[in-house]
Amino acid sequence: MNQAVEAFLNEVWEEVTAIYAKESKRINELKNQSRLQAGIMDYLRVAWRKGKHTWEAGKIHIDVYEPFSWSDSSYKIEAGAYIAELTDELLTEEFFPALCGLVDGLFRSQELGPRFFDYKFEIVFEFERESAKKTLNRQLFNEPKRSQLQKSLEQFIQTKILPDPPVQPGEQDMFFFARHLVNPDLMKQEARELEPLIRRLSGKLHKNQKRKNEWIRHYTSAFRSWAQDRFLPQHFDRTGGYGNEWILKEEPDRPSLDGGEMEFFLYAALQIGFTEPDTRQKYLELAVQLGSEQAAGYLKTGSGKFASTYKGARIEGRNNDVTQTIEIRILSEEELAYGEALDYIIGLLRQGFPKSYELKLKSSQKHFLPIKKLAKSKLHQFFAGALSYPALFPKLAEYADTALEEFAWYRDVEPGEKSVMPGTYAVLGLGLYSEAYFPLVCRYMELVDTEHQMVQDGYAEAFIEAHGMKEEHMPVIVSILLGGNEEGRLVKNATIDRPELAEALFEALKGKENHERELVVCRIFGSVKKLAAAARKAQPPLKEGLEQLLSLQMLMLLK
């Protein structure tokens, strides 16, 4: 071996083995590693980065984890004068093969522990000169280790995914399971293989929404990574400030399209779309550029599960379940038209149309509910218009019963503080206009996600404005107050100024938890201390009623 090559190799390998020794110690100390993780280390990059003034005055850079394009976490070491003697021929024919031989020997051994290396490994070598850069790559593959991982995956599916609840996978296993689903080394990249497993685990986690959301996040991320790392780079060049844009390669520079891969890409786009509709839209548009008629059909008319158009006596409708949109054109502004539109939407939802839809409305009337912070969207406008006809209240309640879904949101606004759960506009409007729907309002308030939805916080004020503070309404008022955010914003018109109201509030709070009673008191009086002050100032018999309320407050010591 050439002396300069040998010196370079020794310098590099000494640093790599020192880094690996530290990493091995850290990895061996990790607790509860997932059975679905064959190993951690799967990448090594050795690079010579040229100096600022001359290329020989640079440094050796070593990365043991694949770096982000915007970061520099390399280990950096100095090199000797031998660097100037290294030709492209020496690097290609002597150095890189020797480096790969050393890595391969370590990769296939158990020297650093059984979980140190993954079943595959990428070696990258880069060498910068004054005006050129040499780049070499090699992939290592440990088939016995891959085979063992596949067996572990199959056993995991049989013991943790397929069995009935309460059997569930561990939290960290879900991440690796999602990644393995889109790994062609381990699973067939076909929707009919993966869809039953995804739905099975989603169904098992239905009662634990936090873990279900984690699972959705994991498999959505896995599909996105597959699309961005495996499929799209074959056919498109990345561009844009963050590499988020894709430009179709010239035909000679891209491979012929594989029908199976395109079908899986479309499936990935649809899966991603449940939580990232904009990404789904972008991927389907890219598929159209590649000539996919199926993607064009998805964008134009949906999956085909639903009749895409409807022409009635008083409305015209269109829908697309892939883009999760419903279009309504009101031909005649009257009760029967809104009733027909509601029937159309209810029918779609009962057939399985996504409840988190966006409504595109063509109507000459613009009604909105008198509730602060509600977005003045087309969806809000439609339901406010329907609510102007009392005869439609039962049909609106029917819609709400069909549409209500915890931890879901309409797509009528950008995700944020004005996002609302399906059924919101119908339920809140019915609660303002008719006492008959107070039980529906209470059900809504119990279901709404108070951590991630905000607009219901202002409903109490609108409700009291519509109905007043009445003792017979106190249970529903308490339910509405508890449905607000935990910040406990004061409701200015929620005034307890009569002993009958104090008694009704006491009765409504008796069965509640301490933190719930405290939240209601804070929203009506401002704080427990302010309730105490109000009790001191009040005259009998209101004084006794307020003091009775104070007796319920078990969380705080009054001073």
Q: Which residue has the higher pLDDT, 126 or 244?
A: 126
Q: Are residues 151 and 294 in the same domain?
A: yes
Model pLDDT for residues 43-60, shown as the tens digit of each residue: 999 999 998 888 998 999
- Of 301, 335, 368, the one marking the end of a domain is 301
Are 159 and 292 in the same domain? Answer: yes
The confidence score (pLDDT) of residue 253 equals 87
- Residues 27-46 have pLDDT tens digits of 999 888 899 999 999 999 99
- Both 187 and 230 in one domain: the answer is yes
Per-residue pLDDT reduced to its tens digit, 486-530: 777 899 999 999 999 999 999 999 989 988 999 999 999 999 999
pLDDT of residue 241: 65
Q: How confident is the model at residue 205 (pLDDT cuts 50, 70, 90)?
A: very high
Classify 288 as helix, strand or coil.
helix
In angstroms, the CA 361 to CA 37 distance is: 50
Verify that 288 and 400 share a domain, yes or no.
no
> For residue range 128-142, what is the model confidence (pLDDT) as tens digits?
998 889 999 999 999
Structure tokens at 110: 């158990």
In this prediction, residue 72 carries a pLDDT of 76
Furthest C-alpha separation in the chain = 102
pLDDT for res 407: 86
* pLDDT one-digit tens code per residue, 237-267: 998 766 679 999 998 889 999 899 999 999 9
Do the domain assignments include residue 99? Answer: yes
Q: Where are the alpha helices (DSSP H) in 205-292?
A: 209-226, 232-235, 259-273, 277-289
pLDDT at 555: 43
**Tokens representing 529?**
């201390």
Gap between the Cα atoms of 2 and 508, Å rounded: 88
Please determine, for residue 556, whether its predicted confidence score (pLDDT) is greater than 90.
Answer: no
**Strand-pair category, 358-362 with 75-77:** unpaired
Look over the chain and give the mean of its residue pLDDT values, rounded to a whole number.
93
- DSSP character string of 38-81: --SEEEEEEEEEPPSS-GGG-EEEEESSPPPTT----EEE---G
Encode pLDDT of 407-418 as tens digits.
Answer: 899 999 988 899
Report the range of poorest mean pLDDT among 102-111, 157-166, 550-559. 550-559
Using 50, 70 and 90 to split pLDDT, how confident is the model at 557? very low
Residue 490 lies in a domain: no
Two tokens, residue 126: 């880069």
Q: What is the pLDDT of residue 445?
A: 97
According to DSSP, residue 308 is labeled: S
Are residue 176 and residue 118 in the same domain, yes or no? no
Look at the chain and report how many structural domains it folds into: 3
Secondary structure percentages of the chain, helix, strand, coil, to 5? 55, 10, 35
For residue 191, tell me if it sits in a domain. Answer: yes
Domain end position, chosen among 141, 168, 200: 141
Does residue 179 sit within a domain? yes
pTM of the model: 0.81
Pairwise CA distance, residues 406 & 449, whole Å:
7
Check whether residue 186 and residue 278 sit in a common domain.
yes
Query: Which of 362, 357, 361, 190 shows the shortest CA–CA distance to 259?
Result: 190
> In which band, very low, low, confident or very high, does the pLDDT at 357 lie, cut at 50, 70 and 90?
very high
User: 369 in helix, strand or coil?
Assistant: coil
The answer on 15 and 160 residing in a single domain is no
State whether 297 and 313 are in the same domain: no
Q: What pLDDT does 558 receive?
A: 41
Q: Which domain holds residue 406?
A: 309-442
- The residue from 275, 301, 327 where one domain ends is 301
How far apart are alpha carbons 526 and 528 in whole angstroms? 7
Band of pLDDT at residue 69, cut at 50, 70 and 90: low
